[in-house]
Amino acid sequence: RLVVGSDTIPINTWNRSRPDGVAFFDPNYGDLVDTAPGSLRIAVGPGRRRLVLSVDSGGASVPIPASGGVISVGAAVPGGLRRRITAAAAASLPFDVVVGLEPLHPREAVGGFPVLVRDSAESEGLDAAGGASFGSVRHPRTMVGLGAGGRRVLLVTVDGRQPGYSAGMTLRESAQLMRDLGATEALNLDGGGSTTMVVRRSWENAVRYTLANKPSEKEGERPVANALAVVSDPKQCPTR
């Protein structure tokens, strides 16, 4: 949220543009921020009560101050709200910027797209999600879901792009599979050639990590930057 004098204004997104809302960009986003034409960009300094450094509404990229940030007011923000923020910046009032996830306080998070199942129902717009070649076309899929009132976690991989073995699934088929498995909430994760499930097994007094599926890449496992791991002891989690 932004607190300017006695005025409190919600921040809608953090390090992501929001044409119809207020966004805050900090140095974690990069050196520059380029928002849509017509947006108002207010560069602010460091600290809790941030001083206004510059105000810009042009189309060029704006530098993100070191230890500071840029408040972006989208072009579609209602005029009354835009005028309140503009007046505060023109008066050189300090901006108290507070960013966080409210009311949630997650210890860990995973990104995915799109939500497949919400409240036990298939999400709308799955055929169009991600473009014509994504949602309605069968691909390998990786999914995570919750069932049994949050007491059960479902980690599911579906192979694909391998004629005669597995064609994959569309997003709607993926949603139906997760519902059939008992998921009341489900999310699509990175799929395609990245769809890989590895299981830790003990065999002949040795520990081995073995593939539980058949990745679609001809070379086998695709190098990826992250994974969703479930372990009983963090020391058991492989670093490769």
DSSP secondary structure, 71-94, as one string: EEE-TTS-HHHHHHHHHHHHTTPP
> Checking phi first, is residue 87 left (phi over 0); if not, alpha (psi -120 to 50) or beta?
alpha
Q: Quick one: DSSP state of residue 135?
A: T
| Digit-coded pLDDT (tens) for 87-127 | 999 998 999 988 877 677 777 778 899 999 999 999 999 99
What are 186-221's pLDDT values in tens digits?
Answer: 999 999 999 999 999 888 888 888 999 999 999 989
Q: What is the mean pLDDT of residues 61-69?
A: 91
Cα atoms in the 13 Å half-sphere on the side-chain side of 112: 21
pLDDT score of 45 more than 70 = yes
* Residue 15: pLDDT over 80: yes
Say which residues have a Cβ less than 8 Å from residue 89's Cβ, sequence separation at least 6: 42, 52, 55
CB atoms within 10 A of CB 227: 15
Predicted confidence at residue 52, as pLDDT, reads 92
Neighbouring CB atoms inside 10 A of 126's CB total 22
Whether 151 and 159 have beta carbons less than 8 Å apart is answered as no
pLDDT at site 199: 93
Element (H, E) at 175: helix 171-180
Please give the DSSP secondary-structure letter assigned to residue 42.
Answer: E
**What local confidence, expressed as pLDDT, does residue 237 receive?**
61
How many percent of the chain have pLDDT more than 90?
A: 60
Mean pLDDT estimate for the chain: 90
**In a 10 Å sphere around its CB, with 0-12 CB exposed, 13-18 middle and 19+ buried, how is residue 78 labelled?**
exposed
Give Cα separations from 122 to 93, 129, 173, 176, 184 (angstroms): 47, 13, 10, 7, 9
pTM for the whole thing?
A: 0.62
Which has more pLDDT, 140 or 209?
Answer: 140
